[in-house]
Amino acid sequence: MKITIVDYGMGNIKSIIGALSYLEVEEITVSNKLSELVSADKLILPGVGAFPMAMDNIIKLNIDKYLKDIVILGKKPILGICLGMQLMTDSSSEDLFTNGLGFIKGSVSNFRESNLKIPHMGFNQVNINNNSKLYKGLNNLSDFYFVHSFRMNSNVNINQSMCNYNGEFIASYEKDNIAGVQFHPELSQTNGLKLLNNFIKYF
Amino acid sequence: MLRKRLIFTLICNGGFFTQSRNFRLQKVGDISWLEKNYGFKDLAFSLDELVILDATREGRNISEFADILSRLVEDVFIPICAGGGIRCMKDAEKLFENGADKIILNTIIYENKDLVHDLIKKYGSQSVVASVDYKDNNVFINNGMQKLAVNLHDYISYIENIGVGELFLNSIENDGTGFGYDLKTAKEIANNISIPLIISGGAGNEKHLIEGLMTDRIDAVATANLFNFIGNGLPDARRRIISNNGNLAQWQ
């Protein structure tokens, strides 16, 4: 099993590598080279930081074009984590309207409620979708570690599992070979390790 | 439901982990000692987050600290916040590269606001934690040695305006006493703050942790009390808090 973490210069990837090695993934690489991404069995799109800057980096590196071929046409399994999950949607209104990769129908916006503490930070419970593969073996309302100031919503069925922070938003989606999680499985103790293992096994 | 967080703070001094009392440091053991005697990785399974601070006062070496950090966080799958003595972009980079998910800043928030802005721009506000050491209504920087001429509440407004993601509020007076948190001050701050608040200083037993966790708008409680909580102390406390319907995350 070879997993390649897509490198576009943003995100703390050390903990993702740590979790994947703990799960005994044979080969873990970090790259933005086309050949590397093509030869991987699965991809992880990480990300911490701002949506516009991330898309900027992705476009500069041409990742948007070949990622689309690899993921949409080639059906290679991909897991987006946090900002990585958001980047695969249509767009975000963080700072200014920015188009995303457009792999998944949905958009990203801010938490509207005024006296809410932002970022949404800490472990929160996920209301698990019945058709989910990501959460196999995990109880409904399992806890995962979130840290984000913008959240995703969608009005179509993408097998979303929901989280509540003064209103519902998408904690994860799973559509064919594409999965995304708003939380950080690599920072979510044994629950997160199980979820990563499910991605490796079932996608 | 968003859970509250239980945080352990490891204080490192010249390669040794220390017990702090009112900011006076007592060396306890090095990293091998910690691994051997306390099964640190097991302990981490009772925590929501780990803060690792370098409190070395003379001959501080960020590379040495980064090595310890890197060794500590192996096979630990929770957010790691590291800091102590960050003075430039390179220091922060070093800690992020060695396993930190967040950095914790204290003195430079006062001395170099521009650097804090740059750090937020590069790593995002959620990765930058502001640590404030206070006694009475006064704020101290440089390991509690330098008193500022601004009161605590004004200083916290200043910090919020800079745009950091979290506040780590540490009572110098209660630090290491085991007498409990300074909830009076914590509550005043909690009512006026719009970013997550971590309180620290004084927890000596499970009851203190619960008092903090039960307080409205306090998001996390931290303890650095090696003697009282390491070993079975913290896992037991966490289990009991959860079985009494305390709002902490559960892992399968």
CATH topology of domain A2-202: Rossmann fold (3.40.50)
- Cα of A82 to nearest chain B Cα, Å: 12
Q: How far apart are CA B207 and CA B209, in angstroms?
A: 5
What's the pLDDT tens digit per position in A36-89?
A: 999 999 999 998 878 998 999 999 999 999 999 999 999 999 999 999 999 999
Q: Give the pLDDT score at B184.
A: 97
What's the pLDDT tens digit per position in A167-190?
A: 999 999 999 999 999 999 999 999
Q: In sequence order, what are the beta bridge partners of B184?
A: none
Q: How far apart are CA A24 and CA B233, in angstroms?
A: 31
Pairing of strands B220-223, B5-13: parallel
Phi-psi region of A167 (alpha: psi -120 to 50; beta: other; left: phi over 0): left
- Cα of A114 to nearest chain B Cα, Å: 10
- pLDDT, averaged across chain A: 94
**Close Cβ partners of B117 (under 8 Å, ≥ 6 residues apart):** B162, B163
Q: Give the pLDDT score at A200.
A: 98
A195 vs A154, A191, A200, B66, B80, CA distance in Å? 22, 6, 9, 29, 20
Given pLDDT bands bounded at 50, 70 and 90, which one contains residue A157? very high
Return per-residue pLDDT of chain B as tens, 252 residues: 999 999 999 988 888 888 777 777 778 778 777 777 666 777 788 899 999 999 887 888 899 999 999 988 888 899 999 999 899 999 999 999 898 999 999 999 999 999 999 999 888 888 999 999 999 999 999 988 999 999 999 999 999 999 999 999 999 999 988 899 999 999 999 999 999 999 999 998 889 999 999 999 999 999 988 766 666 788 888 999 999 889 999 998
CB contact under 8 A, A125 and B196: no
Q: How far apart are CA B216 and CA A100, in angstroms?
A: 38
CA dihedral B106, B107, B111, B117 (to 10 degrees): -20
Q: In sequence order, what are the beta bridge partners of B170?
A: B133, B200
pTM of the model: 0.93
* Minimum mean pLDDT range among A22-26, A93-97, B106-110, B181-185: A93-97
Range 108-137 of B in CB contact (< 8 A) with A: 122-127
Given B30, B48, B118, B133, which residue is catalytic? B133
ipTM: 0.90
Please state the domain count of chain B. 1
Domain ranges of chain A: 2-202
The single-letter DSSP state of residue A73 is I
Q: In sequence order, what are the beta bridge partners of A168?
A: A164
Asked if A62 has any chain B CB less than 8 Å from its own CB, the reply is no
Q: Give the pLDDT score at B230.
A: 67
Average pLDDT estimate for A180-203: 97
A17 vs A5, B74, B105, B124, CA distance in Å? 8, 10, 26, 21
Q: How far apart are CA A184 and CA A191, in angstroms?
A: 10
- Cα of B156 to nearest chain A Cα, Å: 15
Nearest Cα to Cα of residue B201 among A127, B218, B193, B192: B218
Q: How far apart are CA A61 and CA B90, in angstroms?
A: 25
The single-letter DSSP state of residue A156 is S
Q: Give the pLDDT score at A172.
A: 98
**Close Cβ partners of B16 (under 8 Å, ≥ 6 residues apart):** B27, B28, B29, B30
Average pLDDT estimate for A27-41: 96
- Residue B118 catalytic? no
Tokens of B114: 């521009």
Query: Is B252 among the domain residues?
Result: no
Q: Give the pLDDT score at B229.
A: 66
Q: Up-side HSE of residue B104: CA atoms within 13 Å toward CB?
A: 24
B26 vs A111, B19, B20, CA distance in Å? 44, 5, 6
Nearest to B77 among A124, A125, A193 (CB): A193
Q: Give the pLDDT score at B38.
A: 67
CA dihedral A113, A116, A120, A121 (to 10 degrees): 180
Query: Is B147 among the domain residues?
Result: yes
Query: Is B251 among the domain residues?
Result: no
The residue in chain A having the minimum alpha-carbon distance to the alpha carbon of residue B218 is A117
Helix (H) or strand (E) holding A60: helix A51-60
The CATH number that applies at residue B58 is 3.20.20.70
Q: Up-side HSE of residue B251: CA atoms within 13 Å toward CB?
A: 22
Contacts of B126 in chain A (CB under 8 A): 48, 119, 121, 147-149
Q: How far apart are CA A108 and CA A153, in angstroms?
A: 6
Q: Give the pLDDT score at B225.
A: 80
Query: Is B238 among the domain residues?
Result: yes
Range of the domain at B160: 5-243
Length of chain A: 203
